[in-house]
């Protein structure tokens, strides 16, 4: 959608987040099972991560599995729990080529020991890379994330390491899963839904929101570029006023 000369004129968001929505509906339109949509959705993570890397994005957070998704039908959940292994087998060489670092945000208490080993292995194998950080939010819920951060801070108050008056917004932020990532600039939700669904609620406080109707498996580099172009049209004041 835009050439290198255009890219140089644009403000490229440092941190983009995407809610990977519409996999099941995309598959249904093709008379395929929902699991087929999830498979294609995982494959599209690679496509968009590489596209974001080429565009100069520093971090990409993707909402792959939420804390609420456990309530879905068992066969669908069982399939989704196989995806970390598929992800590792299919994409490690591609991500190495682009120097992409992979991290995972979310609970670790509900995952199998096999999946925990896979996530740890991927994290360790990519931790020294200097390119785009791909943050895969797996068994992630923003309310859980914030609650856990509050518990960590509460323990410090309890042990007299800090007093309640020492608690700041920055302290909460420092205890979130995303503490090492740049501040969130742009949050994208494909599929036509217009809500955040418990995704990066703290981080999205002053992020720009972009909604589009294309389902995630069909979301392309052109769609990502369209979101970035729209981002460049926003007047980001962060609650203040710009000097005239």
Residues classed as catalytic: 21, 69
As a whole number of angstroms, the distance between CA 5 and CA 53 comes to 17
Distance (Å) of CA 85 to CA 144, 151, 170, 227, 229: 25, 31, 35, 30, 35
Phi, psi of 133 (to 5 degrees): -95, 115
Q: In the beta sheet, which residues pair with residue 209?
A: 187
Distance (Å) of CA 193 to CA 66, 71, 203: 16, 19, 20
Q: Which long-range contacts (CB under 8 A, 24 or more apart) does 144-149 make?
A: 144/67, 144/107, 145/105, 145/176, 145/177, 145/202, 146/172, 146/176, 146/201, 146/202, 148/175, 149/175, 149/176
Q: Which of 142, 131, 45, 128 is nearest to 84 (CA)?
A: 45
Helix/strand/coil for 39: helix
Distance (Å) of CA 71 to CA 68, 78, 120, 147, 195: 6, 12, 25, 21, 19
């Amino acid at each position: 959608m835009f050439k290198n000369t255009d890219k140089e004129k644009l403000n490229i968001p440092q941190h983009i987040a995407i809610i990977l929505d519409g996999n099941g509906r995309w598959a249904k339109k093709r008379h395929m099972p929902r699991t087929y949509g999830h498979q294609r959705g995982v494959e599209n993570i690679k496509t968009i991560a590489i596209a974001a890397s080429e565009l100069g994005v520093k971090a990409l957070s993707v909402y792959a599995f939420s804390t609420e998704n456990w309530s879905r039908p068992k066969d669908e959940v069982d399939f989704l729990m196989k995806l970390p292994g598929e992800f590792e087998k299919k994409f490690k060489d591609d991500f190495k080529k682009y120097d992409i670092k992979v991290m995972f945000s979310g609970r670790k208490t509900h995952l199998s020991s096999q999946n925990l080993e896979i996530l740890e292995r991927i994290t360790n194998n990519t931790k020294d890379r200097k390119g785009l950080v791909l943050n895969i939010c797996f068994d992630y819920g923003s309310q859980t994330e914030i609650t856990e951060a509050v518990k960590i801070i509460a323990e410090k108050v309890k042990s007299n390491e800090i007093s309640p008056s020492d608690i700041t917004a920055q302290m909460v932020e420092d205890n979130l899963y995303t503490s090492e990532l740049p501040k969130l600039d742009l949050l994208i939700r494909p599929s036509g839904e217009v809500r955040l669904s418990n995704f990066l609620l703290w981080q999205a406080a002053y992020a720009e929101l972009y909604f589009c109707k294309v389902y995630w498996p069909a979301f392309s580099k052109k769609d990502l570029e369209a979101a970035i172009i729209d981002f460049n049209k926003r007047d980001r004041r962060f609650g203040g006023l710009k000097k005239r």
